[in-house]
């Protein structure tokens, strides 16, 4: 059955892309709701006296995607503990809120929030309010699908606002072990010979611990007794990036290009090794998938 959901999560430019990835979402429009003015403009909404929120209105098939799945995407896309707005934007229009269309949506949202607080998922109380859905006013065409029409400006804003860095670290804190978090986010070096994959030579692939992007193949793993997984190359050069570590002299850091997590370093830091891409990778930053399971997944 076709249903409607509506969420406020700060600047609505950043709230479309996460939901569009879900199978079962049929349409997403950005706009304004919750306030008193009729047919408000963007300029009107940015004024504090009208109480409108910037929102995304989602049309979805509930037999393909559940409301709970929408809630999960929503809370993975915001800072629900911020009472003043979102990231670099303060003001009522940038505050978070869930607008429910029926009692079932209210119950599910309320239960979801209670679970977040009981388990201290975000380390603080949830500031996201629940409001009964009011009239939705569609925003100007300039704002619709902004991330598609203006990808460079969108990415610049997404990072400059602080949303990107917060969500990356928040997701890691909530889904990774303490060791995985310290390795991927703070560049902790695992102890040699006391990590999961240094002596693993089974056939398969090693994927990014955050987003499961395949990074390394067992065919390129070097049988070198140095205490960490060693690879001669990545599956594709575009999957990783090399950065000169400003904190450690002559260290060349290896990072995953898509998730931007720390993976490890170029081994021994010599030009020859760098040229050959001899890569020393932390086990905590990757996950091994045996060949038979990987081919089943793909």
CA distance 34 to 194: 55
Q: Which of 11, 14, 46, 93 is catalytic?
A: 11
In 3D space, the residue among 195, 163, 169 whose CA is nearest the CA of residue 182 turns out to be 169
Residue 110: strand, helix, or coil: helix
11 catalytic? Reply is: yes
Crossing angle, helix 103-118 and helix 67-75, to 10 degrees?
A: 40
| Extended strands (E) in the chain | 2-9, 25-33, 53-61, 85-86, 89-90, 96-100, 129-132, 137-138, 204-208, 214-217, 230-231, 240-244, 252-256, 262-266, 279-281, 286-290
Active site residues: 11
């Amino acid at each position: 059955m076709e249903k409607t959901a509506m969420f406020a999560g700060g600047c609505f430019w950043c709230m479309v892309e996460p939901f569009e990835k879900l199978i079962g979402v049929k349409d997403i429009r950005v706009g304004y709701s919750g306030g008193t003015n009729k047919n408000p403009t963007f300029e009107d909404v940015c004024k504090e006296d009208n109480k409108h929120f910037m929102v995304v209105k989602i049309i979805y098939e509930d037999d393909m995607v559940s409301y709970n799945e929408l809630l999960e995407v929503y809370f993975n896309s915001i800072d629900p503990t911020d009472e003043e707005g979102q990231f670099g934007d303060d003001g009522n229009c940038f505050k978070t809120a869930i607008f429910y269309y029926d009692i079932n949506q209210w119950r599910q949202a309320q239960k979801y929030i209670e679970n977040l607080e009981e388990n201290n998922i975000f380390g603080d109380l949830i500031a996201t309010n629940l409001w009964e859905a009011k009239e939705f006013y569609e925003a100007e065409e300039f704002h619709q699908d902004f991330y598609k029409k203006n990808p460079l400006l969108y990415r610049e804003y997404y990072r400059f606002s602080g949303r990107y860095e917060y969500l990356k670290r928040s997701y890691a804190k909530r889904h990774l072990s303490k060791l995985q978090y310290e390795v991927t986010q703070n560049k902790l070096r695992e102890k040699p010979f006391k990590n999961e994959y240094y002596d693993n030579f089974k056939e398969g692939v090693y994927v990014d611990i955050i987003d499961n992007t395949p990074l390394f193949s067992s065919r390129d793993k070097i049988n070198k007794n140095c205490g960490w997984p060693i690879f001669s190359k990545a599956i594709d050069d575009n999957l990783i990036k090399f950065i000169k570590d400003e904190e450690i002299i002559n260290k060349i850091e290896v990072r995953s290009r898509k998730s931007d997590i720390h993976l490890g370093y170029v081994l021994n830091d010599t030009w020859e090794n760098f040229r050959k891409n001899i890569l020393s990778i932390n086990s905590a930053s990757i996950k091994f998938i045996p060949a038979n399971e990987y081919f089943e997944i793909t």
